[in-house]
Amino acid sequence: MKLYHQCGHCTKWNIESFADDGFGDGLIFSPVHERRSNLEKHSSKVRRPSIFDPQYYLPNSQKAKLHSYDFFPEVAASGFSTVNFGLVARESARMCLEFQATQDYEKIVIPARHFEQMEPKYTAMQDAYTVVPFLHEAAKMKLSKDLVLTLPLTSHMVENEDYRTNILNWVTSYPEISGVYVIVEYERNTKQVASESFLDAMLLMLTELRQADLTVLVGYSNTESLLYLLAGAIDITFGAYENTRMFSLDKFLVNEEDRRGPKARIYLPGLLNWIQFSQAVDVRAKKAIWQGVYRETTWAEEAFESVTEPYFNQPGLYKHHFECFSNQVDVLRALSQIERYKLLRTWIKKAQSFNAEIEDVPIDLERHGAGDHLQPWLDVINRYYASHLKS
């Protein structure tokens, strides 16, 4: 059960947290955010426990950093289309595999295309696009690394039992594939996932994948990834900016519009949530509550001692998150599945209690910082315990 940094903008923060501070077990590198020439400069100490995500999700993306990789579909085909890419798919696969092997990453990742709708020919199109070409070239190269297949899905695909079963049957039809890298686009108007139907389906899918003897890595996840650990030896990710903690195609699109920076937030493990830093200052004044929800780190203390409120594009609060979340995962990974359930249930119920105390102050946390996700989480893990863990 590993915890990987989902790298994005300012990858150096993730590298520093991993290599210097010892948080996380490796990194997942993002070519849309880091040019090939920069990525190749990373030390073997950083590369070997890490993974490269080729990010073929949007094959005609015009993002400049993606175009620094000669195997990216738009570059390899001199302009992507479904027809002309078929002519160079094996060459693209060979170059991508050679790059990952030369860089000596922990595993070899087979990329896949992202479909925003429930594409009825999903598996056939993925086969033609990357799976068959990559497996063909990997066999020729006699690679010794484990092959991991990227599974880009939407929440609707995950929640549809027939669709989910079809994908499971497809993945397990390839004995060369030892694991999957699951990425789910779930559009929502809250930062935390609160849909019980989605979380129920995710836990069931992860359980089915593990029962099929596949390694499972869930990418682009937020705090809900703690729940996924109920399904067994699941690898999860944590990230800095929000677009590394939830997946969307936005990052692969060229956008000329200026975006207003969000307010700085701090992760409070006792609340299992991020809250606005300005509101955290108010909660901090109530010492009894603060002692229960906050875990002291050098990074957070520096932010509170600063004369100015931190900006969202400064590393301190993200490195605080890396330390706090890594510690929570370390506690859970040492436990059995049943013990994980019991501890998660305790954490969630305590977070609910702390939220009630904060309301009584009174401090009304804004909707993303409030604990509305906690009761759905509690219901989900109770159902999973009753159906999968209780003897």
Which residues share a beta bridge with 4?
Answer: 26, 237
Q: Is there a single domain that holds both residue 223 and residue 354? A: no
Q: Is there a single domain that holds both residue 128 and residue 274? A: no
pLDDT of residue 256: 53
Residue 347 sits in which domain range?
265-389
Last residue of a domain, one of 218, 252, 286: 252
pLDDT of residue 312: 84
Q: Is there a single domain that holds both residue 90 and residue 154? A: yes
Establish if 259 belongs to a structural domain. no
Establish if 258 belongs to a structural domain. no
pLDDT of residue 283: 98
Q: Is there a single domain that holds both residue 247 and residue 274? A: no
Taking the C-alpha atoms of residue 102 and residue 231, their distance in angstroms, rounded to an integer, is 34
Q: How far is CA 346 from CA 152, 200, 271, in A?
A: 32, 19, 12
Last residue of a domain, one of 208, 228, 252: 252
Q: Is the pTM higher than 0.85?
A: yes
pLDDT of residue 313: 87
Which CATH number goes with the domain that contains 43? Answer: 3.20.20
Establish if 155 belongs to a structural domain. yes
Establish if 260 belongs to a structural domain. no
Establish if 257 belongs to a structural domain. no
Q: Is there a single domain that holds both residue 36 and residue 161? A: yes
Q: Is there a single domain that holds both residue 245 and residue 281? A: no
Q: Is there a single domain that holds both residue 177 and residue 92? A: yes
pLDDT of residue 259: 63
The alpha helices in the chain, defined as continuous H runs, are 11-15, 36-39, 44-47, 73-76, 82-103, 122-126, 132-141, 155-159, 161-171, 196-211, 225-228, 277-284, 287-293, 298-305, 316-333, 337-360, 374-384
Establish if 321 belongs to a structural domain. yes
Q: Is there a single domain that holds both residue 221 and residue 76? A: yes
Is residue 108 within 8 A of residue 134, CB to CB? The reply is no
Is residue 250 within 8 A of residue 345, CB to CB? The reply is no
Q: Is there a single domain that holds both residue 230 and residue 324? A: no
pLDDT of residue 82: 87
Q: Is there a single domain that holds both residue 53 and residue 192? A: yes
Q: Is there a single domain that holds both residue 237 and residue 313? A: no
Mean pLDDT of each 10-residue bin along the chain, 391 residues long: 96 98 98 97 97 98 97 97 92 98 98 96 98 98 96 98 97 98 96 97 98 98 98 98 95 74 93 98 98 98 94 94 98 98 98 98 97 98 97 75
Q: How far is CA 220 from CA 31, 97, 122, 143, 308, in A?
A: 15, 23, 21, 27, 31
Establish if 118 belongs to a structural domain. yes
Handedness of CA 298, 299, 301, 307 (dihedral sign): positive
Please return the burial class of 119, using the count of CB atoms within 10 Å of its CB with bins 0-12, 13-18 and 19+.
middle
Establish if 129 belongs to a structural domain. yes
pLDDT of residue 83: 85
293-319 b/e (C-beta count within 10 Å ≥ 16 → b):
bbbebebbeebeeeeeebeeeebbbbb
pLDDT of residue 41: 96
Number of independent structural domains in the chain: 2
Last residue of a domain, one of 227, 252, 277: 252
Q: Is there a single domain that holds both residue 248 and residue 270? A: no
